[in-house]
Structure 1
Amino acid sequence: MTDQQPVPLTKTAPAPVPAAELRASDADRDRIADVLREALAEGRLDPEEHAERIDAVYRAKTVGELEPLVRDLPSPAASGRAAVPAPGQPYGARALPASDNLTAIFGGAARKGRWRVRRTTRVLAIFGGVEIDLTEALFEHREIVIDVSAIFGGVEIKVPENVTVRGDGGGIFGGFDIKTYEAPDPEAPVIVVRGFAFFGGAEVKRKRGKRLKNLRSY
């Protein structure tokens, strides 16, 4: 009678988690928020609908909770916009210019001091406040865009006195106080502030005595 070798036990690999049950990342939430902002700008959503969906975006825990919020909206490819990555892909995979995101929901957020300004900064304030101070910032592009959504919140933007400021936005039961200013130097950086305020406010303040020393650093 021959000895039989024990049959090694094989471990069964755990079943993969369905995509809809994956925990949502900040990048996933930003991806959905971008689609909603575009839908608001195109008139597909009114400000109240947009506010409700944005609130749901930042309360969502899983990818499956995010996707229904844009199910009835056209995809970026269908509307001619740059494609966004699928849920779970890195946020940097989007074919968009480098961007920054500032979000304040029932709280505050700020960018100030010596920091590098990206081509686009997206700002969302919901029952919160955001402060952006550009007076000591490093400009890497001649024109930068600050895209504001203020819903029961406020956004304050401080700029040096020797840059050009342009505004494109409006307020519904709120204020969008962006005064246009053309700098004497035609090569000065241009700051474009656009968006909307719904029961909120957005304001640009030119700081006297604060000047960019090198207007051609970008």
Structure 2
Amino acid sequence: MKDELPEVKASDAEREQYAEILRTGLAEGRLTMEEFEERLGAVYAARTRGELVPLIGDLPERAEPPSAPGARAPARAGRSWADRIGRPATSRGAIAVLGGFARRGGWTMPRRFRALAFMGGGNIDLREAAFEDREVTIRAIAIMGGVSVTVPPDVGVEVRGIGIMGGFDPTADREAAPGAPRVVITGLAFWGGVGVERKRVKSKKKRPEPGEGD
């Protein structure tokens, strides 16, 4: 079974977790900037878990990589908030320069997430996400670009951002339901915008029973 793992396709959340281990290695002086940039590029280009594992082989792991046996399964919509709060973060930031980024699916939102969109756009979707803590902060900088944040209906939201010829959407502000996390959105929008939307996860369409729709 272990030999089969390298052929498993890598997910965006897995690549982000390996990237975070590399960032920690750089901050601690274990990697030079040249090594860090080379490995980080290889992480984001990796297609399978087998390509990811060697990139951190000489670094201590702060969080168990998703490919390791026994790793916790990603959060899924429908689980209780108690199961989705208190997990290790899989991504702590994203940058879109003349392009875009997306964080969606079963990733884990950190206590503080930094997002930059410069003449580009970003999408932060928390509907299926887990959370590192019960209160998290998104610091969004949108310069001639935009960042959209999607949250489940029961998550609390507080928008504190500053808009200069741009703006932050405060219409989603709401107290959290009992047990649900709270998201604080702050930062700066200059000729750009940061929007917040409440949505439920789309349910799978029910297959028609035999004889239905005739």
Compute the TM-score of the two structures, normalised by the length of structure 1.
0.50
Pair 174,206 (structure 1): closer, same or farther in 2 beyond 3 Å: same
Question: CA–CA distance in 1 between the matches of 2:120 and 2:35?
Answer: 22
Pair 25,173 (structure 1): closer, same or farther in 2 beyond 3 Å: farther
List structure 1 runs of 4+ shifted beyond 3 angstroms. Answer: 22-26
Asked if residue 183 in structure 1 is aligned to residue 184 in structure 2, the reply is no
Q: CA deviation at 1:188?
A: 1.8
Partner of 1:131: 123
SS of corresponding position for 1:110? strand
The 5 A counterparts of 1:65-144 are 100-144=92-136
SS of corresponding position for 2:160? strand
Asked if residue 153 in structure 1 is aligned to residue 145 in structure 2, the reply is yes
Question: CA–CA distance in 2 between the matches of 1:183 and 1:101?
Answer: 24
Amino acid at match of 1:127: M
Query: Contact 1:178–1:202 at 8 Å: present in 2 too?
Result: no
Question: CA–CA distance in 2 between the matches of 1:23 and 1:142?
Answer: 37
Partner of 1:172: 164
Q: Percent identity, please.
A: 46
Aligned length: 121
Please list the CA deviations of residues 164-195 of structure 1 after superposition, one character each: whole Å capped at 9, or x if unmatched. 0011111101121133111332x320000001
Q: CA deviation at 1:101?
A: 1.1
Amino acid at match of 2:175: E
Compute the TM-score of the two structures, normalised by the length of structure 2.
0.51
SS of corresponding position for 1:195? strand
Question: CA–CA distance in 2 between the matches of 1:192 and 1:184?
Answer: 15
Please list the CA deviations of residues 93-129 of structure 1 after superposition, one character each: whole Å capped at 9, or x if unmatched. xxxx976010000000000011111111100000000
Partner of 1:198: 190
Amino acid at match of 2:177: P
Amino acid at match of 2:138: I
Question: CA–CA distance in 1 between the matches of 2:145 and 2:105?
Answer: 23
Q: Which runs of 5+ in 2 are unaligned?
A: 1-32, 38-61, 63-87, 203-214
Q: CA deviation at 1:23?
A: 5.2
Q: Which runs of 5+ in 1 are unaligned?
A: 1-21, 27-91, 212-218
Partner of 2:52: none
Question: CA–CA distance in 1 between the matches of 2:177 and 2:133?
Answer: 18
